[in-house]
Each structure stands twice: as structure tokens, then as C-alpha cells.
Amino acid sequence: MTGTREPRSRPQRVLIIVPAWNEQDALTQTLQDIASSGEAVHVLVVDDGSTDSTATVAADAGALVCSLPFNLGVGGAMRTGYRYALRHGYDAAVQFDADGQHDARYLSPLIDQLVDHDLVIGARFAGEGVPYRVSPARRAAMKILAVALSRMARTTLTDVTSGYRAANARAMRVFAAHYPAEYLGDTVESTVIAVRAGCQIGQYPVEMRVRQGGVPSQTSARALLYLVRAGVALVLALVRRWPAVDEDDAVEPTVPTAHQARTPHRRHDEPRGEQP
């Protein structure tokens, strides 16, 4: 990336992408949380091959729904979301977990930061609110990754495994074409891809809630496995070649447009909220 960029305005058309796999129990509250944020956004729930009523719950709440025929993982679901956003002319997209961990209070400041950055990470370890609790071994792995990616991005990044992130159109073009599907690819590797494609990376401190369901493992064995997998993801991202993406580059997505699943609810061209 060369030259000086023109000043950018705050994104006006923003899509919230919610990858969801069997999240019927937590999804209603998550969508209500987004609706209460005060942002005039549209919400796309990417139903990642769920076997429960995730798609129906999302549609009943007024969200756009794109149902994948089988489970692709977060990476595949997010690539679908980014391609949908580009196809429909959105200026920015925010990844938002379906399980209730992400707090919609931070949507506005994350979007604000896109004036100066292409990708903004909602950082759990940046001094905001109650410290996010993870095992010491897992936290050590996160610190190692943060140091490595901070050097690559030439900025301070404290939480490169956070899935709460906002991307402008430039970063979306990168992710629509190259978003990884491997474990940790949606966080670690995608950040490396963005850096190597010439995107400017930033972070904003956020507080995340505890997981609404399930019990995260804190064993030393799993923490070691996490570190090994993270290292592999980082190495893969470093050795692969990623092309730079110019502001005028276009993408021609091949995924279907969002649709309502299983039963006819709201049409896909009637998104949540008003058009910005």
C-alpha cells in the first residue's frame, strides 16, 4: 500500500453479521441487544447448518437469514456474510457472536473507529470493565499472539483472538475473497491476511460478557493444544501469499442472497431497521 489515503467519513450502511450454529436459546436476546444499540443497522444471521430453530428465531425477530446447507464453521459463515454485504452495497460490517458474549454498547465506537482504520478489533484486554477471565496458560498464548501480530501491524494489539470486530468496505473485499475457515482462522489468520493485504488495523477496548451456555475448558492440556493450534494458524497465515486490495477492487460473490429458512416469514428484502 502506497500513497496517502483520502479522509474517510463514518460508514452509513452497516451490516451486523451474526454467525449462528444451534443458537436458538441465546439468539433472541442477542438480537434485542443489537436493536437497543441505537445504531441504524441491518442484521444478517448466517444459520450455519443448525439443526434447531435458529433460522426461525432469527426470522421472527426481523433479521435477515441466510441458511447454509451444512455447517461450515465461523470462517465459512463470515465469508458468506461479507459477500452478502458487498453485493448489497454496505459500507461496513461487524461480526457479532450469537451467544450473548458481545455487548452492543460498543457497536457505535467500533464503527466510529473505521474512519481511521480498515479493521477494528474489540479488545478484551485493553482496560475496559471487569477483566475477562481465561486460564493463565491460555492467556499466555494470547499474549504471544498479540505481540507477534502487533509487530506485523506496527500498532499495539492486545486481543487478536477476539471475534468482535468491525471491517470497512476495503477489509470486506479482502475477507470476501480470502477469509479462512481453519480453527482460529477467523481471528488470528484473518488479522494477518488484513495486514498483509495493506489494511490498517486498530482496536477499541470492550467488555465482554461470560458465555451464556456451556462450560469453557480451563485444563492445561487444552491450553497447550490452543497454543499449538494458534501457532499453526499464525505460520499458515505468514507463509501464504495474500494480494493487496485496492479501494476500487470489486468482488463477484457466488453465494446466494439471504433468504428466510424452512418456513416463509419476512421476505429477504425487508431488513431489520430503517435504511440508513
- Look at residue 264 and tell me if it is in a domain: no
Say whether 208 sits in a helix, a strand or coil: coil
Core vs surface per residue 221-258: b (16+ CB within 10 A) or e:
eebeebbeebbebbebbeeeebeebeeeeebebebeeb
- Look at residue 49 and tell me if it is in a domain: yes
Average pLDDT over residues 259-270: 37
Residue 4 banded pLDDT, cuts 50, 70, 90: low
pTM for this model (two decimals): 0.81
Q: What is the mean pLDDT of the chain?
A: 81
Which spans in 154-189 are helix H? 169-178
Average pLDDT over residues 73-86: 95
- Look at residue 193 and tell me if it is in a domain: yes
- Look at residue 172 and tell me if it is in a domain: yes
- Look at residue 267 and tell me if it is in a domain: no
- Strand order from edge to edge, sheet including 119-123: 64-68, 42-48, 14-20, 92-95, 165-168, 119-123, 201-205
Greater confidence (199 vs 126) lies with 199
- Look at residue 268 and tell me if it is in a domain: no
- Calpha distance 50→72 (Å, rounded): 10
Q: 141: domain CATH number?
A: 3.90.550.10
- Look at residue 246 and tell me if it is in a domain: no
pLDDT for the residue numbered 138: 72
- Look at residue 171 and tell me if it is in a domain: yes
Bridge partner list, 68: 48
- Report the number of distinct structural domains present in the chain: 1
pLDDT for the residue numbered 128: 66
- Answer whether residue 266 shows pLDDT above 50: no
Structural domain harbouring 149: 14-208+217-239
Bridge partner list, 166: 94, 120
Bridge partner list, 45: 18, 65
